[in-house]
C-alpha cells in the first residue's frame, strides 16, 4: 500500500491563479480531510469528507473547494490563490475499522503564493 | 469552545535530561486526547492516545481532567526524539470524529 499520497510536493503560484492539490489513498478509507499547517497555528481543518459524494467544511474553508467523486481521491481546489494561502497542506484519511481519530497523513504539499 | 493549547513553541534539552511537553485543553464533554509527532521530512504520525495508557518510545502522557492537561513526558531524552509534537483533541460531530490540534512544540535534543 502506498498509503496517502499527495501531489505536487511543492508549488509556487501567483496571486489570482488557480490550482488543485491532489490527494489519494489506497486503503479504502471512508474519511478524508485536508489541513493547513502554519507556524504558531498548528494544523487547522479546511474540509473533510465522510464518504464519496459527502463533504463538509472545517475550521478554515474560505478560499477552498473540495469534491469527493470516488473513495480514493479527495482533491483540494484553490480558485483564486492569495498570499494568505501560503502554507503546507496535509491530506489525511481514516477507515471505519481504524480507531477513531487515528488518521493517516500524507507527506504534504508546500504552497507559496506570491 | 473546544481548544488545545501548547504554550511552548520550542523546548530545548540536553540528551539524557527529562522532557515534558505541555498540553492543555478546553472541552465540554469527555475528552479523547492524542499526541502526534512529525520528524524532520516525514509525515505526521500518531504517537500515543490517552485511552490506551501506553508508552511509546519511552513517552507517556496522563490525562488530568482536573487540570485539563495531557502533558507528554519522557524521563531521558534522546537525540532522535527531536521533532515537532502536536497535542490533539478528538471532537465528535455526529458519526464523525474530527481532530483539533494545538499549535505544536518543537523539541530539540542537544548532544
User: Mean pLDDT in runs of 10 for chain B (111 residues)?
Assistant: 91 97 90 91 88 84 91 96 94 72 96 95
**Is A101 within 8 Å of B97 when comparing Cβ atoms?**
yes
Q: How far apart are CA A58 and CA A76, in angstroms?
A: 13
Q: Note the pLDDT of residue A42.
A: 87
Minimal Cα–Cα distance from B86 to chain A, Å? 8
Residue of A nearest to B35 (CA): A102
Residue of B nearest to A92 (CA): B44
Chain A residues within 8 Å of chain B (Cβ atoms): 4, 31, 33, 35, 40-45, 48, 50, 58, 90, 92, 94, 99-103, 105-108
Q: Note the pLDDT of residue B71.
A: 96
Minimal Cα–Cα distance from B16 to chain A, Å? 27
User: Mean pLDDT in runs of 10 for chain A (114 residues)?
Assistant: 91 96 94 91 91 92 96 96 96 75 89 97
Beta strands in chain A (DSSP E): 4-7, 10-13, 19-25, 31-38, 42-51, 54-57, 64-66, 76-78, 87-94, 104-105, 109-113
Q: Note the pLDDT of residue A103.
A: 86
Q: How far apart are the first and last CA of chain B?
A: 41
**Is B34 within 8 Å of A33 when comparing Cβ atoms?**
no
**Is A101 within 8 Å of B49 when comparing Cβ atoms?**
yes
Q: Note the pLDDT of residue B31.
A: 82
Q: Note the pLDDT of residue A99.
A: 59
Count A/B contacts: CB-CB distance under 8 Å. 55
Q: Note the pLDDT of residue B4.
A: 94
Amino acid at each position: 500500500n502506498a498509503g496517502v499520497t499527495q501531489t505536487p510536493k511543492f508549488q509556487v503560484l501567483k496571486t489570482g491563479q488557480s490550482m488543485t492539490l491532489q490527494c489519494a489513498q489506497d486503503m479504502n478509507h471512508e474519511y478524508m480531510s485536508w489541513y493547513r499547517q502554519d507556524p504558531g497555528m498548528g494544523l487547522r481543518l479546511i474540509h473533510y469528507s465522510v464518504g464519496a459524494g459527502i463533504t463538509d467544511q472545517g475550521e478554515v474553508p474560505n478560499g477552498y473547494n473540495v469534491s469527493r467523486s470516488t473513495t480514493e481521491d479527495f482533491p483540494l481546489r484553490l480558485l483564486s490563490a492569495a498570499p494568505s494561502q501560503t502554507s503546507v497542506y496535509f491530506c489525511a484519511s481514516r477507515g471505519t475499522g481504524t480507531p477513531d481519530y487515528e488518521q493517516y497523513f500524507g507527506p504534504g504539499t508546500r504552497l507559496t503564493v506570491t | 469552545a473546544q481548544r488545545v493549547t501548547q504554550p511552548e513553541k520550542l523546548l530545548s534539552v540536553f540528551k539524557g535530561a527529562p522532557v515534558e511537553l505541555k498540553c492543555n485543553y478546553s472541552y465540554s464533554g469527555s475528552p479523547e486526547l492524542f499526541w502526534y509527532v512529525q520528524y524532520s521530512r516525514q509525515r505526521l504520525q500518531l504517537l500515543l492516545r490517552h485511552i490506551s495508557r501506553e508508552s511509546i518510545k519511552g513517552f507517556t502522557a496522563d490525562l488530568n481532567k482536573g487540570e485539563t492537561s495531557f502533558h507528554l513526558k519522557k524521563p531521558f531524552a534522546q537525540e532522535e526524539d527531536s521533532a515537532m509534537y502536536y497535542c490533539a483533541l478528538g471532537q465528535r460531530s455526529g458519526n464523525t470524529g474530527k481532530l483539533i490540534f494545538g499549535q505544536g512544540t518543537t523539541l530539540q535534543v542537544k548532544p
